[in-house]
Amino acid sequence: MTQDGSLKTISAVIADKLKAAGTMNASDLTAMMISPIQGPSQQTSMKRRVYDVIGVLAAADIITKTGTTITWVGYSNNMRVQQTKVNDLTKTLLVKDKIEKLKYKLRYLSYINALIVRNRSIPRPQVYIQLPFIVFQANFSIKQSKDQLILKLANRSDKPPHIITQFDIASSIDYKFDLDNALISNFPSVKPAYELINAYDDENGDEAF
């Protein structure tokens, strides 16, 4: 299972696991779904999808959720009505998922733009080597100070290695960047995306992006 799996695929996997288990703790189910995923941002994305799918299955009365305990109920005799309800909820979920992906891409763009703006203000030596971002895989711990992100490699670890992307590194640093005005002024083509996101958030009572 990867973060690129469709909601339909993820829903089917979760339904199969719950059906086989009968009763399962929500935290255990989430941990099971994100365990193959590497990278903090990818794991967060999968966790959000798992919660969304649980909500759809509960709303369709395929499962019940009491606190953190999920119980498999099964499909009703009138599967057509139940499937229609699932389909309608899934369509709403797909729109939400696409909005979240769009937010992710805009934040990524804003971090890169902020990094460019910040680097322009740093005096450059006469001789230097410009290196691209590096994506690497290792066992490590992360410590963050006011202006530094410190990665400490672990000598021994039974945990699977992490994959850190430029998004994870950039998003951990506070650029104090005006996401809307500065980004739109440099990339005018993203303005319709902001308008779409804010219109969606206003309609659904979410905080504007």
pLDDT in tens, 68-119: 899 998 887 777 777 777 777 777 777 777 777 777 777 777 767 766 666 6
Domain presence at residue 155: yes
Q: State the burial class of residue 37 (Cβ atoms within 10 Å of its Cβ: 0-12, 13-18, 19+).
A: buried
Same domain, 66 and 126: no
Confidence of residue 181 (pLDDT cuts 50, 70, 90): low
Confidence of residue 29 (pLDDT cuts 50, 70, 90): very high
The answer to whether residue 128 scores a pLDDT higher than 70 is: no
Same domain, 50 and 123: no
Same domain, 109 and 33: no
Which pLDDT value is given to residue 168? 62
In which element (H, E) is residue 12 found? helix 7-21
Work out how many domains the chain is built from and give that number.
2
Which pLDDT value is given to residue 72? 92
The residue count of the chain comes to 209
Out of 20-24, 48-52, 56-60, 146-150, least confident range: 146-150
Which pLDDT value is given to residue 42? 76
Identify whether the C-beta of residue 55 lies closer than 8 Å to the C-beta of residue 100.
no
Same domain, 152 and 112: yes
The range of the structural domain enclosing residue 56 comes to 7-72
The answer to whether residue 47 scores a pLDDT higher than 80 is: yes
DSSP state at residue 188: G
Same domain, 45 and 143: no
The better pLDDT of the pair 185, 31 is held by 31
Other beta carbons within 10 Å of 100: 15
Q: What is the pLDDT averaged over residues 4-11?
A: 72
Same domain, 64 and 150: no
**In degrees, to the nearest 5, what angle opens at C-alpha 48 toward C-alphas 88 and 162?**
145
Same domain, 104 and 62: no
Domain presence at residue 85: no
